[in-house]
Structure 1
Amino acid sequence: MMQNNNPPLKLDFNERSDGSPEWVKQKLAQNSELPLWLYPDRSVLEKSIARFNNLSTEQVLATNGADEAIQLILLACKFGYLNIDQVLLPTPTFSMYEKGLQQWQLNFTIIKPYVDFCINQQQITDDFQQMPRSLLILVRPNNPTGEQVSSEFLQQLLTFAEINNSLIVIDEAYSDFAGDNCTSLLRNSKQVILLRTFSKAYGLAGIRTGYILAAETIIGILAGIAMPFNVSTLSLTLAGSCFEKTAQQDLSRYVDKIKQNREVLQNLLQQLTINISDSQGNFIFFTLKNKRYQLFVNYCQQQNIQIRTFNDPLLKNSIRLTIPFNIDRLEKLFRLVFKPDLICLDMDGTLIDVSQSYDAAIKATVNYFSNEDVSQADIEQLRASGGFNNDWVLSQQLLQQSGMEVTLANVTEKFQQFYLGTTETGGLIENEKILVSQQTLEQLQNTTLAIVTGRPGAEAKMGCDRLELNCEVISIDDVAIGKPDAESILKARNITRTENCWMVGDNVDDMQAAVNAQALAIGINSSGSLEYEKILYEAGATLVINDINDVEILL
């Protein structure tokens, strides 16, 4: 698949998308003389975390990212240190939890979500109430959906936890973007364990530092399992600086901007009739039907935009996108993929079957001058090489390949006689069949359309009359250079005063013209040939479908 030269936009791991904050660069410059010959001491950071959260130092454990925090909790369950018999894991959730549970062979129950991917609160309540000595894992806001369960629901669960000697892990990796956290629950209960990270809102994923907040007894257990020097001196220094005034001001500005962008993108997708989750994280989550999903994923790949897709069958055709600081590229992408202003349609081989008309005229013309036969495969091979969207030129090239030099004027005259017929004989044009259904045409006409064809103007009009299609037509007569040059598409865009454009066609020149015009290219591969599908993708197609009528499900 062809990829353009746009700079990469990394939206797959929920990192801070605008790079390292300025204060981090300043801190790195100021700390060039750190005592790196000494083993690290995490106690200074733990005191800062405790002070920031109004807790005691004994309620804090600094960890090597949230991943280590997860592993410590699961290990404590595995070896019986937390007196837990089973783990409850509502899905969808952060993938590291299920991986860890499987790795350590813990007894766990998956609680499947509702059809809209919201966690099944009723099932969670029932199971947690009925299973004493359980560990319930919740991510709040949830990853990948961004769902934010209410504090009332958490308080209800904590009541059961205290009765049943159970624990609740609340992963708050994205809580800065939600506007609240669960620190108050910890002050009133010993049954809750909170996980935090500096990777997301603070933009420090590279230092791999997070922390656990819990009751003193739980922190004591987990600290006893953790490696003594689990976080580097540099990481501890930068993490500790996060609680200073400059870093907190930067955090506030960044979070506010991401929340504003989140609202803009969610509203836009809703306007585009995309079913999107109500995310409270620094990401958005939505699900698309098969072809639209493939179209979106492919176009992101072409545009050098990295997004999160899923292998889990539960999340089939779902997409999670980190919200960037600048959303211009995303807004443009959404509008182009989901609601183009203009759809340019090739005519021959796309809307009308010309295998028994234009292609037959090519064969007849070549045979007339050379007394040799050419096959359909010969024609398709030459078309696939690009630059032969004009059948007169293609016929002349086939003649040259057979050793015949015939002027383009003579080739054109004879071709037109075969195609249009004479006063005495009917033309091959009478063999043409319409490929597009009336239903698809009606659906297409909800968007501004333009025919962009290599036909002469008069023949393009004949095609439109047969299709009963009234729209702008850009024929070979209307441009100085035909496809694969961008001129015809750009002219259609200019006449219709539109911006976001698709080009739908069945050959290499259509795809290359789309790329040259910065339009989204939809290839038609009516033969179903995998080889030709590959050729169309290599020419710039974003998606290849087998039938023009499949376009309907993309809109």
Structure 2
Amino acid sequence: MLEEKFSLANIKEPSNAASLIWLCNPNNPLGMVIQKKEILDFAANSKALIVVDEAYADFANESVASFTKKQSNLIVLRTFSKGFGLAGLRIGYMIADAGIIAKIEAARQPFNLNSMAAAAVPIALRYENMFAKMREMIENNRDAFIVRLKKIGYRVLPSSTNFVTIKLSNPMEAKNLFSFLEKAGIRVLSPWNEEFSGMPRNMLRISIGTKRQMDSVFKALAKFKKI
């Protein structure tokens, strides 16, 4: 899903022969979201298992997790890496129909959850209100950052995540901006990163931090515009 105007209708025909379809929603690295109704309609008309990776769903208002009982071919994956900041512990979970869970359980490796992660999650959940406020802060900083970037001429993709993706006029401009930011001590995700080799080469992904951090990033981006 590395298209700005992606629609599940675009993959309807090729997906007829598939046994499993994987959707990242919200999308990474673009940040956009597929509407809940579109996913549910797609799943209802598909014979394949529909796996929805909702790693960034804590920053969006769209989730199909509550529909897995009604839609037996729907699987939702969630993680504590993004919305709770526990990325180093590598812990997540699956929400699915009981029949699917039984099949997964039969093939699950023993000791697949480390003891540190098992101890950390209950503590994190006790502080859910605190994490919710942190996510709200990130969302507010994200939205304000997008508005500011658009005012000085940057093309910014819609985002329902904790990052924004900007689209430059061509790959060379993206490379120049990446180098400019790096010299300023600001690291952003580029399409030359092996993890996102399919990312359009004229785009850069910027993670959202505190207001002070985003002010610094904005000043650097504004300075680049004047070069």
What TM-score comes out, normalization by structure 1 length? 0.38
Distance 2:87 2:181 in 1: 24
Distance 2:199 2:53 in 1: 21
Q: What percentage of residue pairs aligned between the two structures are identical?
A: 25
Distance 1:291 1:150 in 2: 33
1:313 shift after superposition: 6.1
Distance 1:270 1:328 in 2: 15
Say whether 1:238 aligns with 2:120: yes
Distance 1:168 1:295 in 2: 39
Alignment partner, residue 343 of structure 1: none
Alpha-carbon spacing, 1:290–1:140, altered in 2? closer, same or farther (3 Å):
closer
Alignment partner, residue 72 of structure 2: 190
Paired residues for 1:513-552 under 5 Å: none
Alignment partner, residue 250 of structure 1: 130
1:140 shift after superposition: 0.8
Asked which structure has the greater RCO (Cα within 8 Å, sep 6+), the reply is 2
Alignment partner, residue 460 of structure 1: none
Distance 1:317 1:180 in 2: 28
Instruction: Describe the superposition over 1:317-357 as per-residue Cα deviations: whole angstroms up to 9, x where unpaired.
Output: 2111111123121121121112x3xxxxxxxxxxxxxxxxx
Alignment partner, residue 160 of structure 1: 45
Q: Which amino acid aligns with 2:70?
A: N
Q: Output the aligned Cα RMSD.
A: 1.8
Contact 1:139 1:172 in 2 (8 A): yes
Contact 2:157 2:166 in 1 (8 A): yes
Say whether 1:318 aligns with 2:221: no
Alignment partner, residue 439 of structure 1: none
Say whether 1:140 aligns with 2:25: yes
Contact 1:139 1:171 in 2 (8 A): yes
1:291 shift after superposition: 4.1
Instruction: Describe the superposition over 1:284-314 as per-residue Cα deviations: whole angstroms up to 9, x where unpaired.
Output: 0122124432331112111222211113365
- Structure 2 spans left out of the alignment, 5+ residues: none
Distance 1:257 1:314 in 2: 27
What TM-score comes out, normalization by structure 2 length? 0.89
Alpha-carbon spacing, 1:217–1:258, altered in 2? closer, same or farther (3 Å):
same
Paired residues for 1:275-354 under 5 Å: 275-288=155-168, 289-311=170-192, 312=197, 315-326=200-211, 327-338=214-225, 340=226
Contact 2:184 2:220 in 1 (8 A): no
Contact 2:31 2:157 in 1 (8 A): yes
1:211 shift after superposition: 0.9
Corresponding residue SS for 2:155 = coil
1:125 shift after superposition: 2.5
Distance 2:172 2:19 in 1: 42
Alignment partner, residue 5 of structure 2: 118
Alpha-carbon spacing, 1:118–1:143, altered in 2? closer, same or farther (3 Å):
farther
Q: Which amino acid aligns with 1:248?
A: E
Contact 1:118 1:147 in 2 (8 A): no
Paired residues for 1:58-97 under 5 Å: 91-92=1-2
Corresponding residue SS for 1:212 = strand
Q: Which amino acid aligns with 2:6?
A: I
Contact 1:295 1:337 in 2 (8 A): no
Q: Which amino acid aligns with 1:300?
A: L
Corresponding residue SS for 2:68 = helix
Alignment partner, residue 111 of structure 2: 229
Distance 2:27 2:152 in 1: 24
Alignment partner, residue 356 of structure 1: none
1:238 shift after superposition: 0.5
Contact 1:167 1:191 in 2 (8 A): yes
Say whether 1:210 aligns with 2:92: yes
Contact 2:91 2:117 in 1 (8 A): yes
1:239 shift after superposition: 1.3
Aligned length: 220
Distance 2:136 2:175 in 1: 32
Instruction: Describe the superposition over 1:354-402 as per-residue Cα deviations: whole angstroms up to 9, x where unpaired.
Output: xxxxxxxxxxxxxxxxxxxxxxxxxxxxxxxxxxxxxxxxxxxxxxxxx
